Structure 1
Amino acid sequence: MPTSSSPCQKKGHPVPVMFAVTSSWLVPLAVTLYSLCLHSNPRRLYEIQIVHDGLRASEMKELHKAISGHPHISIHFATLPEKLFQSLQNRDCGRFSSLSYVRLLAAGLFPQYDRLLYLDADILLNGDVAELYDTELQGKPIAAVRDCAALQSICTGRLAPHLECLAGTGVTFPLLYCNTGVMVMDLRQMRQKDMENTLFRILRSRPDSFPYGDQDILNIAFHGSIMPLPVEWNYHFQFELHHKGMQALITGTEFEKVQALFNNRSWKLFHLVGDYKPWLPPDMGKTYHRLYLSLWWPAARRTPAFHAELRSLYREFTCPIRSRMHRHQWRLLISSPKVFRKRRIKIKGLQRLLAVFDGSWQ
């Protein structure tokens, strides 16, 4: 088995990738798996480990369809561990599912691995996760990308409210706070240091939930011991692009290339962070909403799983737009010159909305 000092670069070893989802996240997970397959190396083996809270056989079958045509990739399923269920019983997890806390148990849940990738289900791959898996951890137990809250703090000159909430938890340098939706985890080292008990002790130390659930717990437990990953492996900084003077502030930091990544769409992993998700009813008011739609829906339409669900969502979101556009097109024939121009403008606007769903928005 690979060791901490030898970062799993022996090509004969599988690349294990962990997800934790409820049934409501199966469609986005299928799209994520499909994007993973598209950028995988056929000479490597990938083992997808999906922890769930009671998926039906039909749902598992659909997820298997997402990796069809890629025999070097396999899917395995595990249910929510009893230890976690008992620890979270009668506990308010806030806006997060209890399954998100499975990351705290990864070392014990997968004893067959010395190293593991954890990925959230709201991501799109544009690079091979085997490259991420092979990252040199330099003796650190986990690797992750700093969170957009850290970038926001750099841009504004003051701590983001969430980082201020961690005062007194041991997070003495809050700008090191990481987004744990993408992690490389050295499970062997975590077992050696009995990190599972440390993580659960932090969980139980607070009667109410942490603002960002298990992500806060991981940051508290591993503060100062997280290997920083390149920003392109968890790109989620589009919120901060318009801060005045941002480029000067981030020069010399790992965020320096954020603007170029956005302009060139050159990220290796795009993380759809935030409350808005492109498989939910769209809100076209913000640039990042339109970006999410234009990236996610083209991948979703090509995903060989959950066709009925995806077609239904696509029609639900786009049919009203098409109906309005056709109505304006028909009325052009009987419009006065002034009204004609207004309707042409509206038609072009609706065409741009449809282009967002079809992936041609710029």
Structure 2
Amino acid sequence: MRIHCKIVAIAVCFGVFLLLYFFGGNAADEPPLNEVAKEKHFQSFNHIEDIGSFFHRKPQPSKQILKQKSEVGRPGSKVTQAEDVMHLAVVACGNRLDETLNMVKSALLFSIQKIKFHIFAEENLAEQFEKGFSQWPQTVSSRFHYSIYPITFSVGNADEWKKLFKPCAAQRLFLPVILKDVDSLLYVDTDVLFLRPMDDIWKFLKAFNSTQLAAMAPEHEIPKIGWYSRFARHPFYGVTGVNSGVMLMNLTRIRSTLFRNSMIASGLSWENLLHPLYQKYKNHITWGDQDLLNIIFHYNPECLYIFPCQWNYRPDHCMYGSNCKAAEEEGVSILHGNRGVYHDEKQPAFRVVYDAIREYPFEENLFQSLFYPLQTKFLDTVNTLCGRIPQVFLRQIEKTMRAVYEKKVVRRVRLPRE
């Protein structure tokens, strides 16, 4: 009997040992709890002042960012997948630092949803971007997230791509290839200013049908004075072509689509299409990457969604007479100051808006420190081609500010207890 008891006792002890070993081994595969606590998360908006601010990652040395490509954006990678975040990309080379900072500022002033900025920049600009962001108030810098990437081209001659049209502008063609973990993205040129929440243009993604994978505005509203309809030596989209300065993209769809083309009978993926397309048309294009996009969507028109001109309002919409009806009715939503109009006196209406946003101190009253000075300065432009219809420039931004103000009042008013 004693022998049986000993055998049972030994068996029980052995079983307990196996259980402890099993659970102890599994636990070793799980991440420590303190690592979870350290995970960076987007902060929620508690006050209306937070509308003008988003996320910021701790600056890394520019060399580390540019050389260690796999490290770029890692602090926010899990967050962007878990939460509903808008992604905005911009490419900055040469002297485009100040323009880009002002564009980012305009996006942060009014947008409600959280934004992740993807900034593609030359190495010498990376540190300057971080320095610029670090000078913004903590209430702003603590609430937006960004990653800085080097200028890279996955196919063809990098130097040739870099010099196509404007410095580094062709980088936008490679966004679907580089940002493999991003589903959708808004690309804008550096000379773009948001006059209403980015959230509103982001909603166009939900308006796409099953074949559409990108959205742009027409290059011109009137064919007889449009550039493509008069001068283009290559295929282009529709009647007037499209302007790529503001381009909304479903990157997932772009990566999974085979595009029809004039080179081979079968379709080509986006990455495999870019270089042969450029080689075929490089002697016939004027506006670089924008022309290539026009060629792509000429052969694949069902893939493109067209949004109204108010979302990409340029000097061409007013210097030959007002020809953007949507902006006349609702005001400009996104201002695109191409032709260098922010920095000369050719179209002072554009420069007034740029300067007003640049000079606005974060956290100040939007009406007193932004809209009223803008309104006053705009009086000096009413005798110019683009300034003669002030409501085109002022209507939407005033509406946006009123919406911000109303939210501020509603959030601060507390109902009395019954």
Q: TM-score range by the shorter chain?
A: 0.5 to 0.7
The reply on whether 1:32 has 2:103 as its aligned counterpart is: yes
Question: SS of the residue aligned with 2:123?
Answer: coil
CA contact (8 A) 2:183 2:250 kept: yes
TM-score by length of 1: 0.66
Which of 35, 42, 45 is the matching residue for 2:114? 45
Distance 2:329 2:102 in 1: 25
Give CA-to-partner distance per residue, 1:277-315, whole Å, 9 cap, x none: 32x3x33xx5xx1101211111111267xxxxxxxxxxx
Indicate the residue corresponding to 2:311 in structure 1: 233
Question: SS of the residue aligned with 2:95?
Answer: helix
Amino acid at match of 1:290: P
Alignment of 1:125-164 (within 5 A): 125-135=194-204, 136-139=207-210, 140-147=212-219, 150-153=220-223, 158=224, 160-164=226-230
The reply on whether 1:268 has 2:333 as its aligned counterpart is: yes
Indicate the residue corresponding to 2:239 in structure 1: 174
CA contact (8 A) 2:341 2:348 kept: no
TM-score by length of 2: 0.58
Shift of 1:236: 1.8
Distance 1:207 1:87 in 2: 13
CA contact (8 A) 2:110 2:196 kept: yes
Alignment of 1:200-211 (within 5 A): 200-208=275-283, 210-211=285-286
Indicate the residue corresponding to 2:348 in structure 1: 290
The 1:63–1:205 alpha-carbon spacing in structure 2 relative to 1, beyond 3 Å, is: farther
Which of 156, 163, 175 is the matching residue for 1:106? 175
Give CA-to-partner distance per residue, 1:224-282, whole Å, 9 cap, x none: 23201132221225544654xx77xxxxxxx4333335xxxx222111122x332x3x3
Larger Rg: 2
Select the structure with the greater relative contact order (CA < 8 A; seq sep ≥ 6).
1
Give CA-to-partner distance per residue, 1:59-111, whole Å, 9 cap, x none: 02234247642333211100011425x524357946411x1111111111101
Shift of 1:162: 3.6
CA contact (8 A) 1:33 1:66 kept: no
Distance 1:29 1:16 in 2: 15
Indicate the residue corresponding to 1:119 in structure 2: 188
Distance 2:314 2:239 in 1: 18
CA contact (8 A) 1:66 1:303 kept: no
CA contact (8 A) 1:18 1:48 kept: yes
Question: SS of the residue aligned with 1:171?
Answer: coil
CA contact (8 A) 1:199 1:221 kept: no
The 1:219–1:95 alpha-carbon spacing in structure 2 relative to 1, beyond 3 Å, is: closer
Shift of 1:208: 3.4
Question: SS of the residue aligned with 2:341?
Answer: coil
Shift of 1:52: 1.2
Query: Identity across aligned pairs (percent)?
Result: 16
Which of 292, 295, 316 is the matching residue for 1:217? 292
The 1:114–1:290 alpha-carbon spacing in structure 2 relative to 1, beyond 3 Å, is: same
Distance 1:205 1:67 in 2: 46
The 1:23–1:161 alpha-carbon spacing in structure 2 relative to 1, beyond 3 Å, is: closer
Alignment of 1:310-321 (within 5 A): none
Superposed CA RMSD: 3.1
Indicate the residue corresponding to 2:253 in structure 1: 189
The 1:189–1:90 alpha-carbon spacing in structure 2 relative to 1, beyond 3 Å, is: closer
Distance 2:146 2:272 in 1: 28
Question: SS of the residue aligned with 2:148?
Answer: strand
Shift of 1:57: 5.2
Distance 2:277 2:231 in 1: 15
Distance 2:89 2:332 in 1: 21
CA contact (8 A) 2:308 2:326 kept: no
Shift of 1:131: 2.4
Distance 2:135 2:106 in 1: 9
| Gap regions ≥5 residues in structure 1 | 1-9, 248-254, 305-350
The 1:27–1:294 alpha-carbon spacing in structure 2 relative to 1, beyond 3 Å, is: same
Distance 2:125 2:179 in 1: 22
Distance 1:209 1:302 in 2: 43
Give CA-to-partner distance per residue, 1:29-50, whole Å, 9 cap, x none: 1111111110121xx3211000
Distance 1:230 1:116 in 2: 18
Distance 2:101 2:135 in 1: 6
CA contact (8 A) 1:232 1:267 kept: yes
CA contact (8 A) 2:161 2:170 kept: no
